[in-house]
Amino acid sequence: MKELRRNMRLIGTLLLCLFVGVAGWFGYTTWTQGSRWAMSSNNSRLNHAKKNVVMGTITDRDGYTLAWTDADGARRYSNDFAIRLALSQTVGDTMSMSGTGVQTFFASTLVGMSGSVIDRTWQWLSGETTRGDDIQLTVDARLSGVLAQNFPAEYNGAVVVINYRTGEILAMISMPEYDPASLDTDVADTAYFNRCLQGQYTPGSTFKIITLASALENQPGALSQAFVCTGMREFGNGAVTCLSGTKAHGELTLKTAFTQSCNVAFATLSYGLGQNALLRTAESFGFNDNFTFSDVVLYASSFPEDIGSVSELAWTGVGQGRVLVTPLHMAMIAGSVANGGVMMEPRLVRQVTGATGLPRLRATPGAYKRVMSQSTASIIGDYMQSAVESGTGTRARIQGYTVCGKTGSAEISDDKTVETNAWFAGYLADEAHPYAVAVVLEKAGSGGNLAATLAAKALSEAIELVG
């Protein structure tokens, strides 16, 4: 009998632990994935609420109205055409054409499914029509409109601006754009695709930030390492070239190699580091992570775990091959350099207000994680400043401010018949204006030209309009 009771207690304890574990898992996944579950097209409760509840209003950081429901129940958008298009993928639409838009991702909030009992009771007692919560975003409507209007008309791509101290997304422009007020208009299929969040691009030389960080943290004496660039170096059965082999940088220090964006030098660094060290560093920066941020659906950036040749390893270190990154993640990487090695979690929602008119949720800054030491971040920041002041990124300079950045020209064809994607990732070294930026222009050539110019425009307008 004692043996039976002991076994029963053991089974009971195991069942209790299992129950607690399942409950904990459910609570955690609901907290991190709740918005993803709620926005499912199979959520019948959400679909019912959309038909019987007035959707809440969406505003920008200054209270400018981006989306609202009129007296006839129709969903309306900004009367400023430029702003309406610039924020089309960010705000989204009622048909969920932009799957990552606020009106899809936060649909349950906008129809009041996540509202408090107090809000629901207030509406019942006041006799008001049931309506959802209002959402104030972190984006700046004016900044978004200006950047969209200054985006080079002949190119697709993305530009994103964040506050690297708080993680707030200030602008998120994806081209081509669409009009959420006229969904029957014929537009390109990719217009509904938010390239800032969903665009997985080869990073090109912007990835040298990661390779540099790996060298600084894994190779003693990396700072004193010297290189000789003849324009080309063989690695295994392949060769890494600088500007198609037409440019020889000569003798280089580590800093000048970064400033001049020497492929040969950084391929040499990558070869010396080896796959495992480079993979560890890339993953410390968020590559291969399944991002579960509460405010945005950010697609994963990837770094190969199975590099099969010396040549591939060399090219990986200069951001080619199978390395992929999203523009928002690249802005977060640049911001982590400015923020002393701490990468902040991206924030798109600033505040949620219930039916009573009182804030129900105020966003607070949160760190994603420390991605490198403060000393490493300081050195990389110095190198990025040099790249803008005297290297490949001089077109990103802003008079009166210190801009730090890295250009990139990412090959997207094996035979080099297609122009490279142009990249720039950087930030303002300014306590009053802690802004980071990432720009990618598809098939626009060198990152030091149009991409760097647009980055300078983004940062200077952020200073002027956001403050």
| Least confident interval from 168-177, 190-199, 242-251, 356-365 | 242-251
Cα atoms in the Cβ-side hemisphere of radius 13 Å centred on 324: 17
The residue-averaged pLDDT of 436-443 equals 98
Query: What dihedral do alpha carbons 308, 309, 314, 316 form, nearest 10°?
Result: -20
Contacting residues for 458 by C-beta, under 8 A, at least 6 apart: 147, 159, 161, 171, 437, 439
Instruction: Say if residue 120's pLDDT is above 70.
Output: no
Instruction: Provide the whole-model pTM.
Output: 0.88
Region of 149 on the Ramachandran plot (φ > 0 left; ψ -120 to 50 alpha; else beta): alpha
Percent of the chain with pLDDT over 70: 85
Q: What is the mean pLDDT of residues 35-46?
A: 47
Architecture of domain 204-346+366-465: 3-Layer(aba) Sandwich (3.40)
**Better pLDDT: 186 or 282:** 282
What pLDDT shows up at residue 410? Answer: 93
Residue 23 has pLDDT above 50, yes or no: no
Q: How far apart are CA 229 and CA 248, in angstroms?
A: 6
User: What residue spans define the domains of the chain?
Assistant: 204-346+366-465
Pairing of strands 65-69, 58-59: antiparallel
**301-305 long-range CB contacts below 8 Å, 24 or more apart?**
301/200, 301/325, 301/326, 301/329, 302/200, 303/278, 303/279, 305/279
Looking at every residue in the chain, the average pLDDT score rounds to 88
pLDDT at 18 over 90: no
CA distances, 21 to each of 25, 32, 55, 290 (Å): 6, 16, 36, 22
Mean of pLDDT values over 225-237: 93
Burial 127-144, CB ≥16 within 10 A → b, else e: eeebbbbbbbbbbbbbbb
Task: Give the pLDDT confidence score for residue 394 in this predicted structure.
Answer: 97
Q: What own/partner pairs with CB < 8 Å and gap ≥ 24 does 41-48 have?
A: 41/96, 43/108, 45/113, 46/107, 46/108, 46/111, 46/113
| pLDDT tens figures, 245-292 | 567 899 999 999 999 999 999 999 999 999 999 999 999 999 999 999
Task: Quote the CA–CA distance of 458 and 146 in Å, as a whole number.
Answer: 9
Of 153, 169, 85, nearest in space to 458 by CA: 169
**Structure-token pair, residue 367:** 């760190």
Burial 436-466, CB ≥16 within 10 A → b, else e: bbbbbbbebebbbbbbbbbbbbbbbbbbebb
